[in-house]
Structure 1
């Protein structure tokens, strides 16, 4: 038997339940959860937003998962019991969406979603590398951010601050936009060259790319205005459903406006590679029993970076 925090229906609290241990099928493994990230999408599901994405209900949430392999199913090759792994949840295949997830003590995972956590990288960072890390990394890839790129990162929340750190490590010249000045020192310590409160303040920089991790509509429009001619704006954040943009400006400047959602298995591998080189996603640890309270903190906007629930041996 194992315990897990189960979602029953929208606008109802999570319920702590006991379930029979999962049995791995062909090319599946059972992972004993050591860390599970809490995500704003979990809060959204609880409010009834995009709940149709869930394969079934009741379901145990938790799509950012790391732990140790507990059991191997038939046909699994190249993996051993006891290995430290993260589950690279990809879209609707992610645990917590398609199967019971990391808010439970044990998780059933497909073999081809497993990634090894490098030596020296914690379970907390391994969990954060999945959804949060891969989403941040993919958006930089969509914007062709690399060595020598001059990039503006809009929003220094969990995703944006992570992306800023990654972009610096990739050799980009990084500028950032964040209205909360309390976060600015974190960005500066990470190697960000300049932090301002509005994209308009970066118009004089003529940056190659803006990646908008906030997505409040006004930020999208301001990024189009501030980016250089023939530059790129990558939209990740969905703080507002609609944006009013100046299409004349978009066309006249020949700006590329691209959307980016989630990430790939390879993005997760790259995040873990960067972690081995020193990347650290800002994260706050809580206990397994604090998951419901943690989601309330997320809902109230009281969390800086990622919130990750951990379990001991």
Structure 2
């Protein structure tokens, strides 16, 4: 099989011919049909997230969906021919970024085939492979931030900061959850797409949302001023969920944090259960994650584009040939 191997920090991915994997007890081989590209992989490659990576050389890619082509002994939840997504969070028991997870602690989806514990395979029915792949991380991360950490309930007034690949999906999920959703996005070109997904109003600066007294704000940008701005405008007793890490630090008003009795929470990743909920939304036809298809051979170029900050409002997903 062909696979893109990451050998060491500072080196480009290398296309290699490798033996096909063979399943052991409790395992299955998945022919990868779609592999989502994530900025986390950029962090692995430039060294900023090197401490999280299990080993090198490794095949990266933690958003994958495909078809089961072989199963080992003691596998009874999937069969050859099943269309599946692979949980980016493994079995949900090995931490937020577990060292056994696909593309982090074992070989991942930037390959024609990958080996997975059968317990981590999620049925996807007949939904498009690109949607299933993007659901495993991009969708899961958004759901976890908005519903689990954010505590979204119908009727809430919710703000989303940043309508990039994650924020756009989060905004739509919040709409589907019955919230009245507003967004702050500096790039005017994606405002219309937010409105099309049910957002009530899109502004350039979260401070422009101050009159609305929002119940919860999820910051998918994380550029310092976005976090401090959220604390300024949210209602007394409100909740700010930090997801984006555009800057490693932020200066906030602890005066407002205290006087307004706010909650400031971080959110990273999610759980397999979160992914299942996202897959349900996609299967219903109510949610479509914005994706851009790229060729398998263009995975390195796609990661370079992510490093440059390109791909606003959509997820790059590689079509894997067989």
The TM-score, its normalising length taken from structure 1, stands at 0.97
Give the conservation status (yes or no) of the 8 Å contact 1:187–1:195. yes
8 A contact 2:160–2:184 mirrored in 1:
yes
Partner Cα separation in structure 2 for residue 4 and residue 49 of structure 1: 23
> Is the contact between residue 118 and residue 272 of structure 1 (CA under 8 Å) also seen in structure 2?
no
Of 272, 276, 282, which aligns to 1:275?
Answer: 282
Deviation at 1:111, TM superposition (A): 1.5
Name the counterpart of 1:302.
310
- Unmatched runs of 5 consecutive residues or more in structure 2: 90-96
List structure 1 runs of 4+ shifted beyond 2 angstroms.
91-94
Unpaired runs of 5+ in structure 1? Answer: none
Determine helix, strand or coil for the equivalent of 2:230.
helix
Counterpart CA distance in 1 for 2:134 and 2:258 is 38
Alignment match, 1:21: 20
Deviates more, 1:171-180 or 1:289-298: 289-298
Residue correspondence of structure 1 range 84-233 to structure 2 within 5 A:
84-90=83-89, 91-92=97-98, 93-119=100-126, 121-141=127-147, 142-233=149-240
Inter-partner Cα distance in structure 1 for 2:165 and 2:293: 14
Matches within 5 A, 1:5-44: 5-44=4-43
Residue 289 (structure 1) aligned with residue 297 (structure 2):
yes
The two structures, once aligned, show a CA RMSD in angstroms of 1.0
Aligned to 2:93: none
Matched, 1:258 2:257: no
Once the two structures are superposed, residues 132-191 of structure 1 have per-residue CA deviations (whole angstroms, 9 ceiling, x without a partner) of 010000001211113111100000001100000111111110000000000000000111
**Alignment correspondent of 1:74:** 73
Q: Structure 1, residues 80-126: CA drift from partner, whole Å, max 9, x if none?
A: 1010000011122321111111101111111221111133x100000
Number of residue-to-residue matches in the alignment: 311
Contact 2:296 2:321 in 1 (8 A): no
Deviation at 1:277? Answer: 1.8
For the Cα contact (< 8 Å) 2:28–2:117, is it kept in 1?
Answer: yes
Q: Please list the CA deviations of residues 256-286 of structure 1 after superposition, one character each: whole Å capped at 9, or x if unmatched.
A: 0011110101100000000012200100001
CA distance in 2, matches of 1:245, 1:115: 40
| Partner SS, residue 65 of structure 1 | strand
Aligned partner of residue 153 in structure 1, secondary structure: strand
Q: TM-score, normalised by structure 2?
A: 0.95
Once residues 69 and 166 of structure 1 are traced to their aligned partners in structure 2, the CA distance between those partners, rounded to angstroms, is 29
